Structure 1
Amino acid sequence: MSDDQTLTAPGAQTRRALLAGAGAVGAAVALAGCNDNGTGTAAAGPTTGGPGATSSDPGATASGGEVIAKTGDIPVGGGTIFASKGVVVTQPQSGQFKGFSPICTHQGCPVSRIEGDAIVCTCHNSRFSIVNGAVKQGPANRPLPPKDIKVTGDEISLA
């Protein structure tokens, strides 16, 4: 039977149609990881840690939102990645806490570690400031978006 013949069995497909469909699905999956949608905003990417990701997840809850850490858990001049909560919490100066998206603005990879005063994406080595999420080193050219966090006493929660 050739690919040009009419099929009479219900639901039957030609080999050409099956291969074309499989190729289209594979191409769509491959391209989705590299797409910025033409809007300058990174496509949705994974929200769990990549290579070398560090994470802490107390999991307690409070009335203002889910408690993700105690203030003492966040190093001064550094920070912690909470990949499962979708936030990076930093403490640039004692008592000053900031929240950022854990997804790199270059190609949507998760950031994976904090080195000194930089949030690092090891996919392409972009580095972002722990103070304001600004790009310290590309290839990313947009800052990490801020995430709302709330500090109540010694608890840090998602706002």
Structure 2
Amino acid sequence: MPEVRVPRRIVFSGLGALGVAVALAGCAGGDDGGSGKPKVAAGDELTTTDQVPVGGGIVLTDAKVVVTQPSAGKFEAFTAVCTHQGLTVTSVADGRIQCAHHGSSYSISTGEVEGGPAPSALASVAIKQDGQRILAA
């Protein structure tokens, strides 16, 4: 059988393309460990009512939960993992949960997408209020 010799230029081009593919794959994943689920158990204290502004909310990065107060005394909670690429949402402002990574935004009342590229709503997280404390349910 004759010996086949591949030019170095082709080998190095292939290695370069492989390096780019690996780098892009690293950018595509989320920062939630792949689960997309909040890191809380029933009864865990998430925050207190005075920490959640009316018409706004707070992002609890470690717990992967965002707690909002769409109207006075009404609290909602959603996963803080953006449905676009699994990165953690970054803020709550102007009645929207914002993901500054790629521009997605969600309703503070329902978690529904209000601006893309997110393909779907944030999942609700069950909470209960115990006096001033907001707990995972």
Residue aligned with 1:31, SS: helix
RMSD between aligned residues: 2.5
Residue aligned with 2:44, SS: strand
**Structure 2: stretches of 5+ with no match in the other structure:** 1-10, 33-41
Rounded to whole Å, the distance in 1 between the matches of 2:108 and 2:25 is 31
Q: Tell me if the contact between 1:91 and 1:130 (Cα under 8 Å) persists in the aligned partners.
A: yes
1:56-99 Cα deviation digits (max 9, x unpaired): xxxxxxxx511121111110110000011110000001111111
1:6-34 Cα deviation digits (max 9, x unpaired): xxxxxxxxxx9xxx8xx58x856742652
Q: Which amino acid aligns with 1:46?
A: D
How many residues get paired? Answer: 116
Q: Tell me if the contact between 1:67 and 1:158 (Cα under 8 Å) persists in the aligned partners.
A: yes
TM-score scaled by structure 2?
Answer: 0.73
The answer to whether structure 1 residue 152 and structure 2 residue 125 are counterparts is: no
Q: Which residue does 1:118 correspond to in 2?
A: 96
Rounded to whole Å, the distance in 1 between the matches of 2:55 and 2:108 is 8
Q: Tell me if the contact between 1:33 and 1:108 (Cα under 8 Å) persists in the aligned partners.
A: no
The answer to whether structure 1 residue 31 and structure 2 residue 25 are counterparts is: yes
1:91 to 55, 58, 69: 69
Identity fraction in percent? 36
Q: Which residue does 2:31 correspond to in 1?
A: 46
Q: Which residue does 1:140 correspond to in 2?
A: 118
Q: Tell me if the contact between 1:46 and 1:108 (Cα under 8 Å) persists in the aligned partners.
A: yes
Q: Which residue does 1:106 correspond to in 2?
A: 84
1:141 Cα shift?
2.3
Q: Which stretches of structure 1, 4 residues or longer, exceed 3 Å deviation after superposition?
A: 26-30
1:118 Cα shift?
0.4
Q: Which amino acid aligns with 1:91?
A: Q
1:72 to 45, 50, 53: 50
The structure showing larger relative contact order (alpha-carbon pairs under 8 Å, at least 6 residues apart) is 2
Kindly tell me: are residues 32 and 149 of structure 1, through their superposed partners in 2, closer, same or farther at Cα, counting changes over 3 Å?
A: farther
**Structure 1: stretches of 5+ with no match in the other structure:** 1-15, 35-42, 48-63
TM-score scaled by structure 1?
Answer: 0.64
